[in-house]
Amino acid sequence: MSKPKAFPDFHPDRPITSAAQDALGRKGFSHAIADRLVAWHGRDCLVAAIYGGWGTGKSSVKNMIVERLGEIGTAKTAEALHVLEFNPWQFSGSEQLTGEFFATLSESLVEHPASSSAKAKKQAVASAERLGLYSKLLGAGSGILSAGAVAASVLFPPAAPVLQAGAKGAKVGADAAKSSRTLLDKPAPSLRALKQQLKSDFSALKRKMLVVVDDIDRLTSDEVCLLFRLIKANSDFPNLIFLLLVQRESAVTALDSIANKEGDRFLEKIVQVPFDLPEPSAMAVSAAVIEGLNKILLPLLRDQEWDDKRFPDVWHGGVRDYFVNLREAYRYLNAMAFTCGVFRSAKAFEVNPVDLIAIEALRLFEPAVFDIIAQNKNTLTSDAPSHSKKPLETLFEQFGKAAKSKKAVESILPNLFPVLEVITDNMHHSRSSWAKSWKRARRACDPEFFDRYFQICLPQGQVSESDIHEFVSAVSDYQAMSAQLAKWSQAGLLEPALARLEAQEELAKIADPVPFVCALLDSLENAGSKPTGIFDWDIANHAACWARDILKRTKDPARRDAFAKRFVEESKALFPVVNMCRWILPPKPGAKNEEDEKLVTPEAAAVIRGNLGTRLKQWATQGNLLKHPRISKLYWSWMYFSEADALAWARQQITTPLSAMALLRAFVGESTSNPIGSYYVGKHKNLSLKSLEQVAPLTEWDRAFAKLKKPAFSTDDSANLAVYEKAKKRRQKGLPDNDWGTMRDEFEDEE
């Protein structure tokens, strides 16, 4: 089993813990608040709040404030605040929330630095007892706490943890709880008297207490209301500071339910000093995303895989607009780290990194747009309709309606799919001009690569970029290229691999193309042809195309001749070589051929034809030609290169029945028909008796076929014999061999 790839940097959704980690320039803001809290006189309770939206970094600012307070306390002990943090989200339900709120305050009194002596500790325990009784009286007498909360407000309930207290603190807390239960059994003092005593207790503190309350946004509406009631109930005690971190709008919405839709006024009565969290600069957040992308992508990419010309258009054109805070930035970077890990291979990156940056942004922040893109592959990866823009206009309108940020989406999409520039800029990009470039760059606008971006994997039937890179890197090594081609062939990927190689233009510029072309030719000998509807494209044509293109790029005629000769001489294949020569050789002297590109001089062409004639004769003599699945193309090519030798060999085959039957395959052709309005493609065999008579009279063919016994030949041979008999019947009727009208009627009768 191969070792899993290391996962790129992951950004957990956690706040920073120190000002040294501040990437948004909020250190000054945090330190200023900490300094003002220290400077507060302490004669009254202070409730301050930092307002900020979800994910805007309130907890990070809180940690920098606490860090700063610790620094001040270390430097100036007299000015130090006793800080305790209360996170209401850690407790479920109103009852536990109430109990833990008072338990935390009581514990803070017991553990306060001023309570270090035995006498002070005893006074602190008594204060904690009074605070516990106060919590019970609030619930029973004032109606501020719910009935359920009264039962939970007993100091230090057995199930509640003692926050931030060591073993000694836990013992003191337990003693306080025990004493408070004794106190609660006595006749209760009035709420006013108890509150006055608590004011005296808090006034006696030598250090101010700061209660930091975070994660309020995570509470239910009822829990938010309860928390603010608790804070309001304790807002008369001196030397006590509450610092709340909350999204103002969510708090107001929750408080509306208990303040007759005036939650904003209720909040203003509780919070005396509000601060608005500074918005992070777009530049700072963008810098964080860019830094993260560099960490993810730089180890994965080769230089030529990064397009520094397109990236600014994609980034400034809309992608950066989605990063309003670090939470969204880190969420995106985590997704990119995961996706890039999927597309990383040993030698290459499987998609275009700039396109991936944009598409991942759409997937996370514009899921509706992402879905529409995935459903419109054909439209987005084809040429714009020449007759009307309406289909594209309709699609573009759908994108705009589905977008959360219409401006960003309408800017990003034409960068990803140039066909849309017909709508945005009235520009038309012809696929024929850009197809190879887009495929080479692994763009999303290429139909082969499109699915990769939406399946987050290499789709079945596609070739990895790593394999393509490895092949191109070994372009001068015949053995290495042959091994890779064989690997693709065994996996059923040879044809898609050859199609991908067509976009690798560097292959046509190599100094010695012979190993490359010969590796292609030899790998295609037994590859077969693949039907593509009404036309059949022979896979061997890929090698012929490469040979022709390489010769076209070679300006020196002598070098062209040398390459062409070596292609034929050094290849071990037969049919692919014969097929290639039909593409690159000029016509024989006197032959009619309008497509004479003169890639090879007549002198070199004569040598190559002689070589091929000799090779075909050797194959035929060894019995390999009759067995070859492409006997028809090979025989007629041999007729072209060396007609006398081909006819002499063919006449010898008529003397034995099985050889005659095998030879008949060279003369039976196949045509296709596609009825109007139908997707059906019919295939039909046809035969020219004149071509048979060029080898031998029909009587000799009849004599050979008459000696055949039915079990000796295949179903395909039976079909060929039937075609032969039909051709003879047409002749008996006085019809020519190639009478299309008669053959069409026969095809219709067959269907």
Residues 638-664 have pLDDT tens digits of 888 888 999 999 999 998 888 999 899
> Which amino acid, 440?
R
Q: How confident is the model at residue 129 (pLDDT cuts 50, 70, 90)?
A: confident
Q: Please list the helix, strand and coil fractions of the chain in percent, rounded to the nearest 5, in that order.
A: 60, 5, 30
Instruction: Check residue 529 and give its pLDDT.
Output: 54
Q: How confident is the model at residue 119 (pLDDT cuts 50, 70, 90)?
A: low
Instruction: Check residue 139 and give its pLDDT.
Output: 59
Residue 274 region, left (φ>0) first, then alpha (ψ -120 to 50), else beta? beta
Q: What count of other Cβ atoms lies within 10 Å of the Cβ of residue 470? A: 17
What is the DSSP secondary structure assignment for residue 677, as one 8-state letter?
Answer: T
Q: Which of 166-175, 582-591, 677-686 has the lowest mean pLDDT?
A: 166-175
d(CA 725, CA 275): 99
Closest Cα partner for 446 from 456, 436, 454, 455? 436
Q: How confident is the model at residue 568 (pLDDT cuts 50, 70, 90)?
A: very high
CA 644 to chain centre: 61
Residues 364-417 have pLDDT tens digits of 999 999 999 999 999 999 887 776 788 899 999 999 999 999 999 999 999 999
Instruction: Check residue 706 and give its pLDDT.
Output: 87
Q: For the chain, how far is it from start to end, CA to CA, in angstroms?
A: 54
On average, the pLDDT of the chain sits at: 81
What is the DSSP secondary structure assignment for residue 2, as one 8-state letter?
Answer: P
d(CA 503, CA 347): 17
d(CA 197, CA 311): 67
Q: How much is the average pLDDT of 666-676?
A: 72
d(CA 341, CA 349): 10
Instruction: Check residue 682 and give its pLDDT.
Output: 62
Signed CA dihedral, 446, 447, 448, 452: sign only: positive
Instruction: Check residue 747 and give its pLDDT.
Output: 43
pLDDT reading at 362 higher than 90: yes
**Residue 209, SS3 per DSSP:** strand
Instruction: Check residue 397 and give its pLDDT.
Output: 94
d(CA 554, CA 550): 6
Residue 598 region, left (φ>0) first, then alpha (ψ -120 to 50), else beta? left
Closest Cα partner for 307 from 263, 249, 257, 351? 351
What percent of the chain has a predicted confidence (pLDDT) above 90? 32
Q: How confident is the model at residue 586 (pLDDT cuts 50, 70, 90)?
A: confident
**Does 420 or 163 have the greater pLDDT score?**
420
Q: Model pTM?
A: 0.63
d(CA 17, CA 293): 23
| ∠ CA 689-693-698, rounded to 5° | 80
d(CA 110, CA 116): 9
Which residue(s) pair with 537 in the sheet? 530
d(CA 384, CA 419): 6
Residues 618-637 have pLDDT tens digits of 989 998 888 888 888 899 88
Kindly report the backbone phi and psi dihedral angles of residue 3, in degrees, each rounded to the nearest multiple of 5, phi listed first.
Answer: -70, 130
Kindly report the backbone phi and psi dihedral angles of residue 686, in degrees, each rounded to the nearest multiple of 5, phi listed first.
Answer: -145, 160
d(CA 336, CA 5): 15
Cβ pair 280, 270 in contact under 8 A:
no
Instruction: Check residue 364 and give its pLDDT.
Output: 92
Instruction: Check residue 272 and give its pLDDT.
Output: 92
Contacts of 673 (CB under 8 A, 6+ apart): 681, 682, 684, 744, 747
Q: What's the full length of the chain, in residues?
A: 751
Q: How much is the average pLDDT of 343-356?
A: 87
Give the β-pairing of 668-673 and 682-687: antiparallel
SS3 per-residue string spanning 519-573:
HHHHHCCCCCEEEECCEEEECCHHHHHHHHHHHHHCCCHHHHHHHHHHHHHHCCC
Q: Which of 595-604, 626-635, 712-721 has the highest mean pLDDT?
A: 626-635
pLDDT reading at 736 higher than 90: no
Token pair 């066909």: residue: 419
Q: How much is the average pLDDT of 67-71?
A: 91
**Residue 51, SS3 per DSSP:** strand
